[in-house]
Structure 1
């Protein structure tokens, strides 16, 4: 399925000409029905602009804060029956969703590109990641949640176990940069754990989430187990935190602080994946061709609009000049375009706001003395929000992009005298989400990795290996967030640990008729014996 780009300018009052042909009015209506809105609430709605032509997509009804409360209430009523199902029954729904997603992936790739502007390969990566997560948690989630037997208070006559129970209703505030992966990938383990969910669709890319919700319904998920609200971010986000039992947020560090503070007032748990200013270390022994490819892939993927993309490249001085030559060559070979096929490696930024931010940061750096080694500015001849893949040298602390997240196709490159210097540079700033090391000596790189403040460290890869290792937790240190997605943490975070203890003899204490002093003396002797026997 493809859409055709306009060959001439289009009047700004028109709707986007890129609407895929298969997106009929009937299909749109089938998605919009999943927006939680009050009956007769009026016609308030908002329409995003398609990045490829800066023209409106499709109007999506606005939810109100009252709609959020109603959606959570409906989810809470649905959660009881959903959690009562065997895990295998919930898993069957997710596996059917997996199959439908793989079968209809062209549809969601079209929508993601239309709403967000990324290259098609990076849209496909969202399909890949969500499919892998669906299979993984459907097959292994029950084992992650398996009751754990522990020793009772009194051997033989008492027993104890720890079980996992769902929190109730989990709330999700997901960003525009990965509307499928972030909108659905975290939700899958939450509902498999027995929770219901309410997700807030980002105003830039609501259709992708609504498409996924319709697909999940086709797979068999009951109507109110997953509710979707759409509209104003701050007001709906606050309302969601005020009603759910757990909040899962992905976004900026500044907003993450607000989410954490509001969740803390209600004493509910929160997982936060926030911003990063991610470094890559190129050691003196690195394969420079591998390093250049890896850096370019991780820096300009998703047009640089991903939390784990590389922004700071720290190169050993002995190989710096040669690495720069190769890095510029690989960067120059990237095809920048707006196509609904796989011919472009770098797509558009998502919005005028993103273009303004990236342009401002690069202009600030250049004005203060940074040197442009590649790119350096917008590409309006390609598209309204396109920015060229950019490499900067000579970035200093007084420049906004030095330690501030750019979230665009821009990297800065630095020299390091040795590994110690490289680690010190990598640990600058307060964020710690992702990092990478390129080296032929994997053992040496693995020894360096724990000294870098980052939730994930990729060796001889820029970012994707850690993100794709879904049995391992993924999250940040420092100001890059709290909690982990993926692995066991990715599902247990949506549960409460409950301890269940049993006694075969009733209450444990002095038997009837036995003096308390005698009971205590017997217990003290037991303590001495257990210590001598090294019993824990």
Structure 2
């Protein structure tokens, strides 16, 4: 374990609950921020052109400046990738078991100091503390899973050779080199490090682009992994705007993992394709939830509220479209409105609030515009539908709409906020058709007492994950199963075997024994062909391969 440790005395677990939001967490000093910002890679010897001004995000709880984070140039990105590549050549020779020990040490430190990063996540994103804690739980689960399963997922695999007995074939998993990871602000810990860990365990170096809104969370995590024993140069962090730093990263690395909007994902994919490098993309969603006639209406309404309003709706897998069987529609609508109106909004650094703030003025304006457009075109607001400046500058009441029609923006476009729309339906076929409408296919949910029938229905829904009697967390939290999107919701998968193997190349090693392939010395090509044809026919009759 690295002996260079953060000597800042951590607060007690109860100290966070005593913070009076809105404010900077009192344990976060300028000196400490300076140490974290030192992890942002800057090549001072190659400052052409001069760097852009530092990035300073605003805290959603009170719109006060958070902290300036250095902004990088394309030259900084190139230098960071070169440094990670040099470290990766040594790291690739490190046994997978040793890599796993470092990740497990990080796991323990994360749980021990979670109160620190919970404060940072809330400060930077404005989310409720419980929703911040969900990131802790997910990253800890990912760390344990891959630390203990990486060896199995990456182990050489023997396969049958061309000539059984004479050809020995092994499939190897070879690290790609340097992986570029672009993660968004909405889950700065989970999406920031949840993809980094399997990339490192697969033997790669990593360069992450920190989102300007949540850079401190990523930098804190980088320091913690260093303390757990990760080689200093192996994981580099750069910061800056997407068109400058993001493009430079895609142009320099050996593989790209991007999480964000579908529009930006297309740009990333096109840029990666020009270099013939791989890309994994988790993009947007307009996720449906189906309430069948036999569903437990109370449970379904409670689950819908969680699926729609977790992280204040700023979540790619959150539910925005709810299709309810016409025979239970009225009962479900009343229960969902009741549950929604019981949710507590607040900006406390403790677990007393159910929902936090939106992240920015732009996000508040976008959410409000969707609701206002729907109302102007005839939709009804059952509850919510307004900003809540009495709670904080960027708060918006959780909102339930009905009467939404296709010409309204909220119908098909991703809102990415605390807004959900209700639609009645008559048959399972109609529900599936409605759920599959549009171009997205990320996550879906079905509520029914008959789980067997719900599972059959799920197979007809076009989505990378379908949850039965849960909104989204059951599939997302099952890290042994792959997770990703269909259609405009992306390419590739995270979690499961694919979540680590995507960071490797498959290499086939074939060792030929005794005789080379082809006609042996002294035998004509024609005789060899005839003999081989008879062998192929025999293998077919024997049902071999």
Aligned runs of 1:29-108 on 2, under 5 Å?
Answer: 29-39=34-44, 44-108=53-117
* Other structure's SS at 1:159 match: strand
Instruction: For 1:125-204, list aligned pairs within 5 A.
Output: 125-204=134-213
User: Which residue of the partner structure matches residue 265 of structure 1?
Assistant: 274
Residue in 2 aligned with 1:237? Answer: 246
Name the residue aligned to 2:28. Answer: 23
C-alpha deviation, 1:506, in angstroms? 4.6
1:502 shift after superposition = 0.4
1:249-260 equivalences under 5 Å are 249-260=258-269
Match of 2:3 in 1: none
Q: Please report how far the alpha carbon of residue 516 of structure 1 lies from its aligned counterpart in structure 2 after TM superposition.
A: 2.5
Q: Determine the structure 1 residue equivalent to 2:491.
A: 482
**Deviation per CA, 1:198-226, whole angstroms, max 9, x where unpaired?**
00000111000000000010011111110
For 2:528 and 2:38, the matched residues in 1 are separated by 68
Taking the aligned partners of 2:123 and 2:428, their CA distance within structure 1 comes to 43
1:328 partnered with 2:369: no
Q: Distance in 2 between matches of 1:386 and 1:521?
A: 78
- Distance in 1 between residues matched to 2:351 and 2:20, nearest whole Å: 14
2:388 counterpart of 1:383: no
Normalization by structure 2: what TM-score? Answer: 0.95
Match of 1:503 in 2: 512
The aligned residue for residue 460 of structure 1 is: 469
In structure 1, which of residues 293, 299, 304 is the aligned counterpart of residue 308 of structure 2? 299
Aligned to 1:11: none
Q: 1:507: Cα distance to partner? A: 2.1
Q: Does 1:310 align with 2:319?
A: yes
Tell whether the 8 Å contact from 2:52 to 2:73 is kept in structure 1 after alignment: no
Q: Which moved more, 1:42-51 or 1:281-290?
A: 42-51
CA deviation profile, 1:364-414 (whole Å, cap 9, x unmatched) = 111111100010010000000000000001011111111100000000000
Matched residue, 1:365: 374
C-alpha separation between the residues in 2 aligned to 1:232 and 1:186? 21
Q: Residue 519 of structure 1: CA displacement?
A: 2.3
1:353 alignment partner in structure 2 = 362
CA distance in 2, matches of 1:529, 1:459: 48
Q: Which moved more, 1:417-426 or 1:286-295?
A: 417-426
Displacement of 1:518 in angstroms is 2.5
1: CA distance, partners of 2:265 / 2:529: 52
TM-superposed CA distance for 1:91, in Å, is 0.7
Q: Deviations over 1:450-501 (max 9, x none)?
A: 1111110000011110100000000011100000000011001101001000
Gaps of 5+ in 1: 7-16
SS at 2:390's partner residue?
coil
For residue 152 of structure 1, report the CA deviation from its aligned partner. Answer: 0.9
Q: CA deviation at 1:351?
A: 0.6
Q: Which moved more, 1:232-241 or 1:110-119?
A: 232-241
**What is the number of equivalent residue pairs in this alignment?**
526
Q: Per-residue displacement from partner, 1:403-461 (whole Å, max 9, x unpaired)?
A: 10000000000000111111111111100100000000000000000111111000001
Cα deviation, residue 147, structure 1: 1.4
